[in-house]
Amino acid sequence: MLQDYRNPWLYRGMWVYLLLLVGALLLPVFYTIYISFNEHGFGAQIYDFTWDWYRVMLGNTQIIDSLRWTLGLGAATVAIAVPMGLIAAKHYKRTRHKLVLVTLMLAPLFVPADILGSALLVYFKNLNRACNWLADTLGLEWIRTWFELGFGTALVGQVLWTVPYAFIVILITMSRYHAQQTEAARSCGATGWQAFWRVEFPQIRVGVASASAFVFILSFNEYTRTNLLKGGFDTFTTVLISHMFNTGMSEDSYAMAGTVSVISMLVVGGVLVWSLARVERLEREARAAATPLGSA
C-alpha cells in the first residue's frame, strides 16, 4: 500500500476518484438546493437568487406543523431507541449467546420498509379492534384509544427500525472499553449505576452521541413506515412527498428538500467532525503511551 503512494499521480488519482464518486452521489442534492434559491424555479433560463421559497415554506402552517411533529417524533425516537440500543450493546458484551442476540437485534433491518410498515399497520388495527371490544364489553374506556394510529404507533415503527443502528454504533464504541474498569470501580465502592455513569459512560459517550444523531436523521428522513402508521398527523417528509405526488415539485418543495438535506448534512457532518477529532486525540494519546514520559 505504502509502495503505491510513492507515485504521486496514483495518490492524486485516488482523491479525484473519491471526489467524483461523492460528487456524483451528492450532485442531485446540491442541484435541488441550488434550484430552491432560484426565483424562477426549475428549468428557467435565468437564475436570480431569492429566499422567497423558504419564506413561502415557513409561512405554510401545514409545513410548520409537520416540522414540529417531525422534531417531536425524532426526539422521542432518540429518547427510546438509543437507551434500548445501549442496553442491548451492554448485554451483548456480557452474554455468551452473542450470535443469537445480534440476529435478533438486526432482524428488523432485513424486513423491507413497506412490509414492516404494513405488518405493523395490520397488527395495530387488530390490537385497536381488541381494545375497542374490551372498552365496549367491559366498559374500559381508557384503553379504547391505546392503539389508534397516531404519534404512538408511528413512534413504535420508527423505534423498531432505528434500534439496530443505535445498537451497532454504540457497540463499536464499546469495543474499546475494558470491563475490568467497571469491576475496578465496583471494588472502589461504586454501585452498578455509579460505575456506569462515572467510568463507562464518559468513555462511550461519543458512540451514544453518534447513535443519537444517526437515529435522529433516520427518523427525520423516514417515509414509508411513518406514512403507514402516522394516523392523523404529518411529518416534514410525508408532506414533501405528498406535495410531489399531488402537485409535482413546486418551488417551495425544493425549499423543503433543501431544508431536509441541509439539516441532515449538518447533523451528520457535525458528528463526523467531532468523532474524527476524538479519534485523532485517542491516536495521539496512544502514541504518547508508546513512549512513556518516565520509567517505573
> Which window, 6-14, 194-202, 217-225, 271-279, contacts another protein (CB under 8 A)?
194-202
> Which window, 53-61, 144-152, 177-185, 235-243, contacts another protein (CB under 8 A)?
177-185
| Sequence-ordered strand ranges (E) for 140-194 | none
Distance CA 258, CA 50 (A): 14
Distance CA 247, CA 42 (A): 14
Pick between residue 6 and residue 96 the one whose CB is nearest to another protein: 96
259 with 29: CB under 8 angstroms? Answer: no
> Which window, 18-26, 71-79, 175-183, 228-236, contacts another protein (CB under 8 A)?
175-183
- Identify which of 134, 118, 141, 138 has the alpha carbon closest to the alpha carbon of residue 229: 118
Does 62 contact another protein by CB under 8 A?
Answer: no
Does 175 contact another protein by CB under 8 A?
Answer: no
Does 186 contact another protein by CB under 8 A?
Answer: yes
The grid coordinates listed for 106 are 438486526
Number of neighbours of residue 195 by Cβ within 10 angstroms: 20
Number of neighbours of residue 235 by Cβ within 10 angstroms: 28
Judged by CB under 8 A, which of 184, 272, 273, 279 binds another protein? Answer: 184
Site string for another protein, 103-142 (x = CB under 8 A): ----------------------------------------
Number of neighbours of residue 153 by Cβ within 10 angstroms: 25
Judged by CB under 8 A, which of 7, 95, 175, 194 binds another protein? Answer: 194
Determine the Cα angle at 145 with ends 139 and 150, to 5°.
175
For residue 121, the minimal CB distance to another protein (Å) is: 43
For residue 181, the minimal CB distance to another protein (Å) is: 6
Distance CA 260, CA 63 (A): 12
Distance CA 20, CA 14 (A): 10
| Sequence-ordered strand ranges (E) for the chain | none
Judged by CB under 8 A, which of 43, 202, 232, 248 binds another protein? Answer: 202
For residue 85, the minimal CB distance to another protein (Å) is: 22
159 with 84: CB under 8 angstroms? Answer: yes
Kindly determine how many residues on this chain lie close enough to bind another protein according to the rule CB under 8 A: 27
How many distinct helices (H) and strands (E) make up the chain? 12, 0
For residue 179, the minimal CB distance to another protein (Å) is: 9
Distance CA 164, CA 199 (A): 25
For residue 202, the minimal CB distance to another protein (Å) is: 5
> Which window, 62-70, 101-109, 130-138, 178-186, contacts another protein (CB under 8 A)?
178-186
Does 181 contact another protein by CB under 8 A?
Answer: yes
Does 94 contact another protein by CB under 8 A?
Answer: no
Pick between residue 28 and residue 192 the one whose CB is nearest to another protein: 192
| Residues at the interface with another protein (CB under 8 A) | 178, 180-181, 183-192, 194, 198-199, 202-203, 285-286, 288-289, 292-296
